[in-house]
Chain A
Amino acid sequence: MGAFSGITVFDGAFEDILAPGTKELLACARKLADNLDEKVNCILFGEGLNESLKEAVAFGADNVLTADTPILGKYNPDAYSIALERLVRQTASRCLILGQTSIGADIAPRVAFKLGCDLITDCVEINFNKETESFIPVHPIYGGKIYAAFNFTNQQLVITLRQKSIDPLDRDDSRKGNIIPVKVDIEPALIKIKVVKKIKEEITGVRLENAPVVVTGGRGIGSKDDFKYLKELAEILSGAVGGSRPAADNGWVPATSKVGLTGKIVAPKMYIAIGVSGSSQHLAGCIGSKNIIAINNDPSANIFKVARYGVVGDWKEVLPSFTEKLRELLV
């Protein structure tokens, strides 16, 4: 494809940690690059990066580019998009892949606009047609009720990949790659957006994203107070508590515990949905779970279409005996 070559992934590596999502991007890029017989570039921003750069090689990168500049130490949308655009031009990458994360989803449109190229966001798959050398990203539309596959041949492209859409490769420390420090000078006048401060809302217990079990409550739970029963269940199973959008909007769970298309993407071994109807937008965040278990008093609720186990009934009656029995079985 003429002037462009190679698949480039981008992410931040704050505190020198390669995020699980970055490893997924590398696995996706590796597959595409191997099909094309081209290289995987990994661009990482952050300050004082060292271990994460080596890790990027172990997880699939051929070239790791890093700009260790204080201005890129913390996320700033202007600084990051300016720097990334320059590096993508420099590497003449044919495809740039970012995660559908708060950073990736913010940077991808900025960079695609500057590059003047096409952009498909929030993809659950990126396929490649060897014969036509086309990229075929798949993006769910209408809240996930329909999936749309696009086709791009011979053009530069930016894609964001939904979290947990692909498994990372196994770490292989014998893999060889180049770590390439690059210099990016950004004129301060180009920075229009000022990041004043970051406020972390700590949630105690197991992190939702990594929890082996997630207990999610929906509008059917009815009140914040009643979420204590879900917490109790989650604790027994060493899991985390999540909420549907109404549960988060009503403040029954923190906003950061919302599961779904516009919340967290989880894929635990066990996803227990209680008083959740199973809208397509909610399922977008949990459909990768190994076993979905639903408690709902409406037998026609959509959640039962994707649940492996289901109880039809009022959760107030079902949950206490379920929790009690589990406690008994798990001692």
Chain B
Amino acid sequence: MGFHIIVCAKQILDPEGPASGYGVNSATGQIILPKGVPPVINPYDENALETALRLKDIMQVNITVISMGKNLSKAVIGKALAVGADNLIFLQDKAFENLDSRSTAYIISAGIKKLGNYDLVLAGRQAGDTDAAIVPHFIAGFLDIPCINLVKKVEIIERNIRVERSLPDGYEVLEVEMPSLLSITGGGDLRKADLQQITDAGKKPVTIWTAENLGIDASDLKQTVWQKIFVPVHEVECNFIKADSPKEAGAKLAIKLREDRII
């Protein structure tokens, strides 16, 4: 029969984009997001997907990717189908925007419950926009299954999951039974799809479930409310060391640090 693995993948603005386009609209107090920064799959969710694919490489595994949002793009998340995911589910509704971690997890867990059978849920360690690292724990809470975070390696032994969890001074090995949820850090970059796979993926359907399909009452959902947002100011005046050659600049830097009593 094999295993059914669900991977949670969030669509976000490329977090590697420059800081310059981010700002605050002084009239509304709302966030200004940069133009021209493309949407991507949250990088840690790509790691989660790659983790699932590596399990699929060695055993019989069916992968469903699930993504929640208001405007999800098949061009972005569809990449998951091209690299080897079997199904893609969009939990999409105009009510699914700017929600707090609990509501987000509530909707995703409703989607997972609707899917029914699963053995393992993988999520990213944190989303590059919220930087919260909360949703995976809360999904597990709603599903009432165990959760392990910061996982960098996964092995399936019968119905046991054996993982390595990153620690500041190494890692620990943990075991838990299926079904469980793991939030992934690392575990390898997502593989690339070839042209044929990309074409084939375009033909695979995407299932869309709305709040109504999930039996969710939009008035139960809570939005993230900020008291205030601001752009942090860290900037200092840089003393650029001027010299005739890079070699000389290196020596002059050392002298300057001594003069200024930094060393």
Contact = CB atoms under 8 A, between A and B. Distances in A.
Nearest to B257: A309
A200 B238 contact: no
A324 B248 CA distance: 11
A121 B132 contact: yes
Interface string B101-127: 100000000000000000000000110
A311 B13 CA distance: 32
Nearest to A106: B149
B242 to A, nearest CB: 9
| CB-based closest 7 A-B pairs | A109-B137, A321-B250, A313-B246, A322-B250, A325-B254, A317-B246, A151-B227
Interface size class of A (residues with CB under 8 A): 35 or more
22 contacts: A113-B141, A121-B133, A122-B133, A136-B227, A142-B15, A142-B22, A149-B230, A193-B175, A198-B167, A200-B169, A255-B152, A255-B186, A262-B185, A270-B263, A306-B235, A314-B246, A318-B253, A321-B249, A321-B251, A324-B250, A325-B253, A329-B263
B11 to A, nearest CB: 14
B232 A141 contact: no
Contact of A145 (B19, B174, B228): B19
A305 B235 contact: yes
B220 to A, nearest CB: 14
Contacts, number: 225
Contacts of B232: 140, 144, 146-147
Interface in B36-90: none
A196 B226 contact: no
Contact of B263 (A196, A198, A326): A326
Interface residues of B, number: 75
Interface string A296-331: 000000101111111111100111111111101110
B229 A149 contact: yes
B253 A146 contact: no
Contacts of B26: none
A105 B149 contact: yes
B170 A256 contact: yes
B128 to A, nearest CB: 6
Contact of B168 (A202, A237, A256): A256
Interface in A257-271: 261-262, 264, 269-270
Interface stretch (A42-50, A64-72, A280-288): A280-288
Contact of B175 (A105, A119, A144, A194): A194
B138 interface: yes
A258 B22 CA distance: 26
